Amino acid sequence: MSPESQASEALPSRRRRAPRGGRHRGDESFLLPPGSPALILAVPGHARQGGADLAAELARLVEIEHTGQPAYVGHLDGDEGHLRALLGGIRAPQDELAAVVVPLSTGPDPALDAAVRAAVASAPLPAVAAERLGAHPLIAEALHDRLADAGLARADRIRMMTMVTAATGVIVATPGDANAVRLAEVTSVLLASRLAAPVSTASLADEGGDLAAAEQLRAAGAASVAVAPHLIGPEPEGRLVPAAAAAVGAAHASPLGAHPALARLAALRYVEALSMALAD
């Protein structure tokens, strides 16, 4: 079903939810006024391939936990649920901002970035592209949780009590080239602070880089190493994770998936982009 949305002159107002139980108690959310531009998650790949369900779950979390308004998923390949078609179905006043597209990516992805820019540029109504999700402390939080889910780190939030259990060193394995690795290093520093343990960064596509990262960790005293995939799930590089971990003799966590921290971050990127667009 095509979204119906119209731009609003007012910025989304921040509010703090009533305290909730669980890991994310006290998270700040954004309550969007009626008629706000549509929030669309841009997802690599086809609507029927692996990762489509998690994108839909992230959109649901954005809506019910943060914005109070429907969030949509636009795929960048195939005919079904394509981002271009979704943008073309938006109904809004002419010449007013109709949509904000948030790329579902933790780092630079030239192909994804180009596809999002092209779709936004060809939209029949004004739309803008937000920044990708990473790097951000919320990505480090999600990586920590996935390591804990795999039994590779404790989930305690107090730093002095957050000790790596099954692994004493972590490789943040990211899709992309050297530029992607440099940006992911920011997240690695944040993760190391959370774990109070050494963390290195390497490209999933660079076996030599993975081996060097593992050697660096072991030289720093890590008796065992774990791989934390710095990706969400729809990315094609996800299939490289098991082999990359095996090549360095490491266990690995799952991709970030539909983590609540990513939903919060997607809402934040939306608000940042909307604020900039309305300020112009």
Asked if residue 11 has pLDDT above 60, the reply is: no
Q: What does the pLDDT read at residue 160?
A: 42
- 162 three-class SS: coil
Q: What is the pTM of this model?
A: 0.85
Tens-digit pLDDT profile for residues 179-205: 999 999 999 999 999 999 999 999 998
Pairing status of strand 13-16 against strand 28-31: antiparallel
CA distances from 145 to 90, 115, 162 (A): 36, 31, 11
Fill in the DSSP letter of residue 8: -
Band of residue 166 on the pLDDT scale cut at 50, 70, 90:
low
Q: What does the pLDDT read at residue 118?
A: 97
Long-range contacts from 164-167, C-beta under 8 angstroms, 24+ separation = 164/195, 164/196, 164/197, 164/226, 166/224, 166/226, 166/251, 167/197, 167/222, 167/224, 167/225, 167/226, 167/250, 167/251
Summary mean pLDDT of the chain: 85
* Integer Cα distance of 160 and 164 in angstroms: 11
- 172 three-class SS: strand
Q: What does the pLDDT read at residue 172?
A: 98
* Integer Cα distance of 174 and 183 in angstroms: 10
Q: What is the length of the chain?
A: 280
Copy the structure tokens of residue 23: 């890991």
User: Is 183 in contact with 135 (CB distance < 8 Å)?
Assistant: yes
Tens-digit pLDDT profile for residues 231-248: 999 888 999 999 999 999
The C-alpha torsion from 173 through 174 and 176 to 182, rounded to 10°, is -90
Tens-digit pLDDT profile for residues 44-89: 988 887 667 899 999 999 999 899 989 999 999 998 999 999 999 9
Q: What does the pLDDT read at residue 10?
A: 33
